[in-house]
Amino acid sequence: MNTMNGITELTAELSCGNAPALIFAKQGDEDSRSVRVRFLFGGKAFPISDDTHTEIRVQKPDGTVTVNDGTVGQDGTALYPLSPQSLTAAGEGKADFLLFGSDDELISTVPARLVITPAPVGDEALESISEYRAFVTEIAEHDTAIAELQRDLFSVNTNLGRGIASLSNRLGSMSFELLTKTAYEALAAKDPDTLYTVTDGDSVTQYLGEIKLKSGSGSAGALTSIYNGTTSTTAGTLTEEV
For the chain, the domains span 6-120, 174-240
Give the highest mean pLDDT range of 42-51, 115-124, 209-218.
42-51
- Asked whether the predicted pLDDT for residue 140 surpasses 90, the reply is no
pLDDT band at 101 (very low <50, low <70, confident <90, very high): confident
Sheet containing strand 203-208, strands side by side: 175-180, 194-200, 203-208, 211-217, 238-240
End-to-end CA distance of the chain: 79
Rg of the chain taking only CA atoms, in angstroms: 38
> Residue 102: its pLDDT value, please?
81
Q: Count CB-CB contacts under 10 A for residue 161.
A: 10
pLDDT band at 230 (very low <50, low <70, confident <90, very high): very low
Give the highest mean pLDDT range of 93-107, 156-170, 205-219.
93-107
- Asked whether the predicted pLDDT for residue 229 surpasses 70, the reply is no
159 vs 63, which has greater pLDDT?
63
Burial class of 30 by CB neighbour count within 10 A (0 to 12, 13 to 18, 19+): exposed
The per-residue pLDDT of the chain, averaged, comes to 78
* Cα distance between residue 148 and residue 153, in whole Å: 9
> Residue 225: its pLDDT value, please?
44
Q: Three-state SS across 1-38?
A: CEEECCEEEEEEECCCCCCCEEEEEECCCCCCCEEEEE
> Residue 184: its pLDDT value, please?
94
* Cα distance between residue 54 and residue 96, in whole Å: 10
Q: Side-chain half-sphere of 139: how many Cα atoms within 13 Å?
A: 5
Q: Are β-strands 77-81 and 34-41 bridged in parallel, bridged antiparallel, or unpaired?
A: antiparallel
- How distant, in Å, are the alpha carbons of 88, 195, 197, 212, 233 from that of 242? 79, 19, 18, 10, 25
Is 2.60.40.3350 the CATH number for 6-120? Answer: yes
Least confident interval from 16-30, 66-80, 122-136, 139-153: 122-136
